[in-house]
Amino acid sequence: MIDEKILNRAKEWLSDSFDEDTRNKIKELIDKNDENTLTDMFYKDLEFGTGGMRGIMGPGTNRMNIYTVGRASQGLANYLKDNIEDAKSRGIAIAYDSRNNSKLFAREAASVFAANGIHAYIFPELRPTPLLSYTVMHLKTAAGVVITASHNPKEYNGYKVYCSEGYQVTPPEDSRIVEYVNKVRLVKDVKRIDYEEGKSRGLIEELEEAVDRSYLDKVESFREMIESGLELKDDSAVKVVYTPLHGTGITLVPRALERIRGVEIIKEEKQSIPDGNFPTTPSPNPEEVSALSRAIELAANVKADMVIATDPDCDRMGLAVPDSEGNYIPLNGNQIGTMFSYIIAESLSKSGKMPENPTVVTTIVSTELVEKIVKDYGIDVIYTLTGFKYIGEKMYQFKQSGSRNFIFGFEESYGYLADNFVRDKDGVIASVLAVILVKYAALKYGSVVNFLEDIYRKYGMYLEFQKSFLLKGIEGAERIKSIMDKLRKNPPKTIAGSNVVLIKDYLEQKEFSANGTVSGKIEGLPKSNVLQFYTDDNVKISVRPSGTEPKIKFYFAIVKPFNRSMNDTRKEIEKKYDEVQKDIFSFCGLE
């Protein structure tokens, strides 16, 4: 029996305010008495949270569709008009990825902004998310919007909001925008004009090629500076297999790499076709080895020096390189971030271009190995909460205060950024850095694998692992809350035979021992539902609910001294990880 409240909400979508296709789908579900589907579609409004909006596409209040996109856009428009005096004339920049309905949703957003008198600059075709960050600063718009669900499965889409300084909105601005969106009644309060009418009236402007060229020129200038400091030969031959995983990377990554002398780009043909169904991969996520399988197979056939993969909106980059036997090894995000940090620090140091108070910014769940490396170059490391928006915010704060100079930022989930003309993770810049890395490692160490081994031999082997549990619906949300409550109120005193010596609670913003004795405060970071557990044998476990998916995430970091070889040391760490993850999952009831 369908809950009466759910049924009444569903019946509201049978009115003439909604398009015919939507009405027919809702009616069919009501006629079938499909309780489970209708409940999931209507038990709540799709949350416009501090990270924007992301959800499964389809009709309903808890889905991504033109009506929930319209509501979000109206709320944002109201916020901009009330809080930024010249928001209408400065306008808003809009981009979108290759996902199903992304173009439709982007145009719907533009139509709403235009109806509110806010000039909408929109890319006529799909473009990478980092280009939107650049465009906001380049055009000095009041805000920006990207329609994307990043690396989520094909059923999803999303809506990201950027502030006028080019990074995703952060506290307290994000919460204020949420309040504005929550006040908008679906359909009734949403103003919109026809997209083509908006163009004809000059309220909607489609961006031209000049923006792309300007951005690529900045990427090229940065690349030339780093290559010069590393004393790399301009004509070093590098064969690159590239896959955009059916996404936006195809529009800019090849163009950026083609500007590098000696680089031969071989595209994975089928995955170079933008397609929101992602037909050749189970997941368009470069963090997953399976996403790189086709490109690795091609690389083996052509004997490529590297494989580069970017996710659908091209803000994340994955990299695989051959080992001594010619087998391609996918590197994880921490390994890539570590080596990028090294070559940037080395380049700036050798060239004499190291700025005053140089700083690397990373997240609390990313590897701490980077801090050991860059401190040898006199570079500081600052840690932020998970989410690249906090790295972008730090970049802006550095610029405003003049106290620090940003040189590199990264997070373990394959997001990287260098220089200052973008303020979000950038798969284009990362792809260029990957080519520089391969060239540098070949020149100095013989290979990337040898380079990484040298780092581990000097600083110790740091390995990180991640495991997520997908817990959908109302029951899933309650279970995630229950797990976090248990870990917070009754934390484990030992994990896999190791003593827990420190716990960090970013929601309570305090540090304490396993027996509850408070030992310090966490300062300089917003409150966040994250817990970290440190043991007496160099194990760190971080736990947090995902902000964009119905998941609870566990991050494991284990450090061991280098023992004879990478394989031997890796085996020691993997054995410890196996024991640790079994114990903590059992404690959480997630076996």
Is the pLDDT at 98 greater than 80? The verdict is yes
Is the pLDDT at 235 greater than 80? The verdict is no
Please count the residues of the chain. 591
Average pLDDT over residues 356-376: 96
Nearest alpha-carbon partner for 513 in 541, 540, 535: 535
Whole-prediction pTM: 0.93
Is the pLDDT at 51 greater than 90? The verdict is no
Report residue 92 as tokens.
């808003």
Set out the domains of the chain in order of their start, with CATH numbers.
Answer: 44-207 (3.40.120.10), 213-327 (3.40.120.10), 334-459 (3.40.120.10), 461-587 (3.30.310)
Grade residue 591 by pLDDT with cuts at 50, 70 and 90.
confident
DSSP SS3 for 145? strand
Q: Hey, what amino acid is at 590? A: L
Average pLDDT over residues 385-390: 93
Average pLDDT over residues 152-172: 94
Q: Rounded to an integer, what distance in angstroms lies between the CA atom of residue 26 and that of residue 265?
A: 48
Q: Please give the pLDDT value at position 151.
A: 86
Q: Please give the pLDDT value at position 543.
A: 96
Q: Please give the pLDDT value at position 437.
A: 98
Q: Please give the pLDDT value at position 514.
A: 78
Is the pLDDT at 236 greater than 80? The verdict is no
Nearest alpha-carbon partner for 494 in 461, 460, 545, 541: 541
**Residues 410-437 pLDDT 10s:** 999 999 999 999 999 999 999 999 999 9
**Residues 245-294 pLDDT 10s:** 999 999 999 999 999 999 999 999 999 999 999 999 989 999 999 999 99
Is the pLDDT at 519 greater than 90? The verdict is no
Q: Please give the pLDDT value at position 241.
A: 98
Q: Please give the pLDDT value at position 122.
A: 98
Tokens 């040189």 label which residue? 407
Q: Please give the pLDDT value at position 392.
A: 97
Mean pLDDT of the chain: 94
Nearest alpha-carbon partner for 98 in 163, 21, 152, 52: 152
Lowest mean pLDDT among 131-135, 232-236, 307-311: 232-236
Catalytic residues: 150
**Using an 8 Å Cβ cutoff, are 164 and 170 in contact?**
no
**Residues 183-212 pLDDT 10s:** 999 999 999 999 999 999 999 999 999 999
Q: Please give the pLDDT value at position 294.
A: 97
Q: Please give the pLDDT value at position 3.
A: 85
**Residues 62-83 pLDDT 10s:** 999 999 999 999 999 999 999 9
